[in-house]
Structures are given as structure tokens and as C-alpha cells.
Chains A and B, each alone.
Chain A
Amino acid sequence: MRLEAKYKWLPTPFRSLMLFIVWLLLNNSVAPGHLILAAILAVAIPLATFPFRTKQPLVLKPGKALQYLLMVLYDILMANIEVAIKILGPTRKLKPAFVKVPIDLAQSMPITILASTVSLTPGTVSAEVYPWPEDMADGAEPQQRYLLIHVLDLDDEAALIDTIKTRYEKPIKEIFAC
């Protein structure tokens, strides 16, 4: 895990890249004027907002991140079909459940990504992270954290936890190297 970027003037390289792309998409052009403006904004905005943010781990494996994004998009497609079938099918057959998934991630950025992925994909909505970071005393040894999720139709709790851990948590751990 690395918190500090290589260059001081570029504290969050990937956020800068995203800002650059978003600006070009917003203006719907790649004219030189917009390219220059986008580059200036991409450097200036992270620099200006950097002091307000808590330090988050940097993306260390961009290739893995792209791979993860594509995998999640595919999973969203599959999960949608699955959930659509379940919604249209008989309601009484569904077995809703709350499940606690132990997570090894500690920083809030990776946890947010994991929780969002879980919400968007396999028939689950993430509900809560235990224990709350604000409940922990300063400098206390971090405990095992849990992600509380609500499942629309639970078949096998252990298999679901295993899927989330190996399919989603492991690549996130690799991307941030934490």
C-alpha cells in the first residue's frame, strides 16, 4: 500500500486522469483549447482539494483495475438478469437474509469500492460496515471488520461469502496492494 504519490504536484494521478477525461466528455470535443484547459484543471483541482482529503491508498496496478472494471460491468449485466427473474417470479419462494462478510480491507476507499460493487452485483445490497471507524479509539489495534449485506435470495451463505471474498475483495486488494 502506498499513500504518497511520486510527484508532489500530482497527488492523485488517476483522479487527475479522470478529471481530464470528464472535462473532454463534458465539452464533447478534443480541440486543442479544451485539451489545454482540461490539463490545467486536472492538475489544479486535485492540488486545491488535496489538503481537505484524508489520505487514501493509490491505485498501484492500473491494468488490474481496468480488468476489475470490465469484470464488474459483466457481472452487473448477469446480476440484472438474475434479479429481474427473481422479481418477476413468485415472491414467496425468496429467502431474504442478512449476511456478515468478514473483510480484510482497512482503508475507506477500498471498502467503498467493495461495498458499491456488492450493491451493484449479485442480488445483494451492502448495508453497514462494522465496527464503525469512529467507535474505535485512537491508535487502537484495528479489529476484524465486517460488511453487513442484505441478500434477496440466499442459497448458501458460505458460498456467497466465498464469492465476494475471492471474486471482488482479492482483486481490490491487489489493485491497492494492501
Chain B
Amino acid sequence: MEWVISFLLLLGGSLVLVGSIGLVKMPDFFMRLHGPTKATTLGMACLLFAAMAYYGFYGEGVSVKEILISMFLLITAPISGYMLIKSAIHHRLDSIEPTSGKDKIEED
């Protein structure tokens, strides 16, 4: 069981790390948004499941609140991503040169 928990912790940690690396490394705002909306969500879910397994086996009995937390994360992550990208479009932020289909953004 310890192996499973360690594996989940490591996987979750590295996924969150990859999401953060994406945040730093990507050249423009729109591309930066991809890391946090995806990798971080799954990473958090892995960490929460690790916590659930740990408290289920070594702690004070099974706790299911973590399922609730991951559910709310899954629901809210796309919404915040959407709000961020919407305001970026509203402020007419520049995207990097090779981005195709920029003309598809409608003026408001």
C-alpha cells in the first residue's frame, strides 16, 4: 500500500510541476493557460487520492471528502481558465507569431 501511495504522491507532484513549468516556459499568455488547466487538475486529483488512501489505511478511517474536492476542482478549473482567456481576448493580448487563425477572434 505504501508503494501505491508513494507512486500517487510522486505522480501528482510531477504533474503539478509540469503544469508550473508550462506556465513559465510558454511564450505567450494563451499557451501558458494550457498547463494549469490540465496537468495541475490531474496532479491535484492524484495528491488527493493519495491522501485518501493514506488516511484510509493508516489514519482514522476512510475519508471521502477528497472525492468532493477533486469534483469541485474539475468543475471550477475550466471556468477560471475560460474567464482568464476571455479577459485576455478582451484586452487584445498579443499571441506569438506562428499562431494561426488570429482573424477568427471577433471584435467586441
Asked if A and B bind, the verdict is yes
Question: How long is the Cα–Cα vector from A22 to B63 in the complex, in angstroms?
Answer: 13
B53 in the interface, Cβ–Cβ < 8 Å?
no
* Nearest B residue to A126, CB-CB: B82
A88 in the interface, Cβ–Cβ < 8 Å?
yes
Interface positions of A from 110 to 150, Cβ below 8 Å from B: 115-117, 119-121, 123, 125-128, 130, 148, 150
Q: Is the CB of A98 within 8 A of B38?
A: no
| CB-CB under 8 A for A97 and B78, given A87-B26, A120-B37 | no
Q: Is the CB of A128 within 8 A of B74?
A: no
Q: Is the CB of B26 within 8 A of A25?
A: no
> Which residues in A have some Cβ–Cβ distance to B below 8 Å?
22, 25-26, 28, 76-77, 79-80, 83-84, 87-88, 91, 94-100, 115-117, 119-121, 123, 125-128, 130, 148, 150, 152, 154, 157
> Which residues in B have some Cβ–Cβ distance to A below 8 Å?
15, 18-19, 21-22, 25-28, 30-31, 33-35, 37-39, 41-42, 63-65, 67-68, 74-75, 77-79, 81-82, 85-86, 89, 95-96, 98-102, 104-106
Interface centre among A28, A88, A127 (most CB of B within 10 A): A127
Complex partner residue of A83 from B39, B98, B105, CB under 8 angstroms:
B39
Q: Is the CB of B30 within 8 A of A96?
A: yes
Question: How long is the Cα–Cα vector from A126 to B18 in the complex, in angstroms?
Answer: 21
Main DSSP-derived SS at the B contact region: helix
| CB-CB under 8 A for A25 and B41, given A88-B18, A116-B78 | no
Question: How long is the Cα–Cα vector from A75 to B9 in the complex, in angstroms?
Answer: 21
Question: What are 13 of the A-B contact pairs (CB < 8 Å)?
Answer: A22-B68, A25-B67, A25-B68, A28-B63, A80-B41, A80-B42, A87-B34, A94-B31, A97-B99, A116-B79, A123-B34, A125-B30, A150-B85
